[in-house]
Structures are given as C-alpha cells and as structure tokens.
Amino acid sequence: MTRRLEGKPVAEAMDAETRAAIARAGPGASPPSLVSVHRDTDSPFRFYLRRQGKGAAAVGVRFREEPLVPTDGPPELLERLRRLDADPDVHAILLEHPLPAPFDFYAAISAVRPEKDVDGVGPANLGRLVAQRPVHVPAVALAAVAVARHYEAPIEGEPVAVVGRSETVGLPLALLLSSRAPGMNASVTLAHSRVHDLAKVLRNARTIFSCVGRPNLLNRTNVPEGAYLIDVGTSTVPDPTKTSGSRSVGDADAAALDGWAAGLSPVPGGVGPVTVSELMASTVRAWRLGSEGGAA
Ligand code: NAP
C-alpha cells in the first residue's frame, strides 16, 4: 500500500501556528506585511499569486501585489525594490522568478536585505544557508521537508536524493537536507538532467525529492521499491475531461508507483499548499526580525 502524503494537514497545523504568532502581538500591533512584485503577465507565477493572497487572508498577513507596468525595465524594478526595502511597514518582499531578459533576477533581488527576502532566494540568503546560518529558506524547500517529516519519511542519517538542481528549488533543498539542523543531516545525492543513469543514482535513496517538472519521470524503473517520494514538480497536461482543458501533474507516474513506493505526495494537494503556509510563516519571521533590528 502506498501512503498518500497529503499536504492539507501539514498546511493547517502550520497556519494555526502562524495565526497564533500574529495574535500574540496583541490587538494594537501592526500585522506582518508581504509584498509580491511581479510582471503583470499570464505566467505560472500568477497562479501562485492567487494562492498567496488567499493564504495571507487565512492567517492575518497583510498582502499586496506590486505589478510592474510593461514599460518598466531593470532600473525601474531596482528602484521599486529599493523603495520597498526601505519601507519599515513592509516586512517581507517576494519577487517573481524566473524573470526573463533583460531582467537579471539576482541583480534585482540583491537590492532586498536578507531579512526581507522572504523566499530566501537572494545570494545573501543562499550563502547563509551554506554557512549554516539561514535567515530565510525558499518556502518550497521548507514545504517539501515539512511534508516528508510529517509522514516520517526517512531523512536524518539516511540516503536521500534530490532530483533537480535549480538555484531556487533543488539546490537549496539539497543544502537544507544536508544541513546540521535537527531532523536534517541526510546524506544527499543531487541528480539533474546530465546524469547518465538516474536509476543507478537513486538506487540507495530511502526518500526522493523530485523537483524537475517532467511528467512520469519517476516510475518503477528508477524509484527503489519502498522509497518515499516527495513530488515537488508541477506540470500542466491537456485533459479534455476538465472544463479548463488541462490539469496539473507531478514528476511521478503515480499509477505505476502505487503499491511500489512507501509513500507519495500527490500533485495537486501535496507540497503546493504547504509552500504557501511556509511563505506565511517566513513572513512572520521577517516581521519579528524587523522589530528586533535584523538577523545576527
Ligand atoms: P527548473 O529551473 O526548470 O529546474 C529543473 C531542474 O530539473 C534542473 O536542475 C534540471 O537539470 C533538472 N532536470 C530536467 N530534466 C531532467 C531529467 N530528465 N532528469 C533529471 N533532472 C532533470 O525548475 P524549478 O524552478 O527548479 O522547478 C522545478 C519544479 O518544481 C517545476 O515543475 C516547478 O513548477 C515546481 N515548483 C513547485 C513548487 C511548489 O510549491 N510545489 C514551487 C516551485 C516550483 P539541469 O540543471 O541539468 O538543467
């Protein structure tokens, strides 16, 4: 029997903690605020934006969008981020990524101090993760780990694999899993598109985190029997049975892995909802750091 590793109970528990943390500040306190800066275009980020708005409302975080206008280029983006970074009433800033040329995501996010770079994707935050002193860690990496830990998938001291090495998802997740933090300490193998034989690389893994965006990449040919699979990948495939004509799927061939894997997080409904809850929890951390005068 393959366990279905649903994100809902993980997200609900996390949201309850976030609400309680905000309530503890008392009725007179100004609640945490999160600002999402994005190109105003139809991109996958738009879907994430809707979830951010709903997630913020559910826990009591003040949320607003700052869309760029079509004539805004890198200088205007930089100016916008500097203004938000200097605004004491803005505690957390999220910048859409990836950003197409001529924008340079890393040049832009570097204008945001690590305490406000709430998704932990700027060079300063990634460097702090390497140095075992994280301020913010990407919400998706925290969410993948939270789902795995909730269902007691083997991590600590165990062989674990991460498939995908992007700077915003796979790589920070691999760094988090191999960090010395309690519950982490995994022995991590990092796989990517240039790996010759994925099955060979995954052979010893007890838990696999897949962060690729390729439907059916993981199946019985490369996932060891009895492994846990945390599916971070999200792709859209045509589905004429849906009103929208499409549906979301993960990297796993869920039907093939049923009865083979020990546990599998579904897409949708697995890591996705927890990512929003982690983002709100990080916003509360940014709010506290703001009132304490910054990170050590
Ligand atoms: P990305 O930048 O496109 O990176 C994809 C990674 O997968 C790359 O490292 C790539 O390797 C690797 N890869 C591609 N084909 C492969 C193959 N055949 N075998 C092994 N590795 C392969 O994507 P991303 O931004 O990291 O996002 C990854 C996935 O996570 C996407 O589906 C995205 O939608 C999803 N996501 C989900 C959430 C959530 O909350 N659930 C949040 C963010 C992202 P190379 O480095 O060699 O090119």
Q: 165 in ligand 1 pocket by Cβ < 6 Å?
A: yes
Give the amino acid at 68: L
pLDDT band at 207 (very low <50, low <70, confident <90, very high): very high
User: Which pLDDT value is given to residue 233?
Assistant: 98
CA–centroid distance, residue 279 to ligand 1 (Å): 19
Give the amino acid at 274: V
Q: Please tell me the number of Cα atoms within 13 Å of 159 on its side-chain side.
A: 9
User: Which pLDDT value is given to residue 64?
Assistant: 97
User: Which pLDDT value is given to residue 294?
Assistant: 66
Q: What are the residue boundaries of the structural domains of the chain, listed by start?
A: 29-137+274-292, 139-271
pLDDT digits (tens, 9 = 90+) for 91-120: 999 999 989 999 999 999 999 999 999 999
Residue 199 pLDDT greater than 80, yes or no = yes
Task: Select from 187, 95, 182 the least CA-distant residue to 132.
Answer: 182
With the most atoms of ligand 1 within 8 angstroms of its CB, the residue from 48, 211, 236 to mutate is: 211
Q: Which residue has the higher pLDDT, 294 or 182?
A: 182
User: Which pLDDT value is given to residue 232?
Assistant: 98
Among protein residues, the one with the nearest Cα to ligand 1's atom 12 is 164
Residue 293 pLDDT greater than 70, yes or no = no
User: Which pLDDT value is given to residue 296?
Assistant: 61
Residue 258 pLDDT greater than 80, yes or no = yes
Among protein residues, the one with the nearest Cα to ligand 1's atom 8 is 164
User: Which pLDDT value is given to residue 45?
Assistant: 84
Residue 153 pLDDT greater than 90, yes or no = yes
pLDDT digits (tens, 9 = 90+) for 114-142: 999 999 999 999 999 999 999 999 999 99
Query: What whole-number percentage of the chain has pLDDT above 90?
Result: 92
| 29-137+274-292: CATH number | 3.40.50.10860
Sheet holding 33-39, edge to edge: 62-68, 33-39, 92-95
pLDDT digits (tens, 9 = 90+) for 32-53: 999 999 998 877 788 889 999 9
Prediction pTM value: 0.97
Q: 212 in ligand 1 pocket by Cβ < 6 Å?
A: yes
CA–centroid distance, residue 262 to ligand 1 (Å): 23
With the most atoms of ligand 1 within 8 angstroms of its CB, the residue from 212, 234, 237, 253 to mutate is: 212
Among protein residues, the one with the nearest Cα to ligand 1's atom 2 is 166
Task: Select from 231, 195, 200, 201 the least CA-distant residue to 216.
Answer: 231
| 139-271: CATH number | 3.40.50.720
User: Which pLDDT value is given to residue 82?
Assistant: 98
Q: Which ranges of the chain would DSSP assign to H, the alpha helix?
A: 8-24, 44-59, 74-86, 105-109, 123-130, 139-150, 170-177, 198-202, 254-257, 271-292
Mean pLDDT of the chain: 96
Among protein residues, the one with the nearest Cα to ligand 1's atom 39 is 272
User: Which pLDDT value is given to residue 26?
Assistant: 85
Same CATH topology for 29-137+274-292 and 139-271: the answer is: yes
Q: 233 in ligand 1 pocket by Cβ < 6 Å?
A: yes
User: Which pLDDT value is given to residue 42?
Assistant: 79
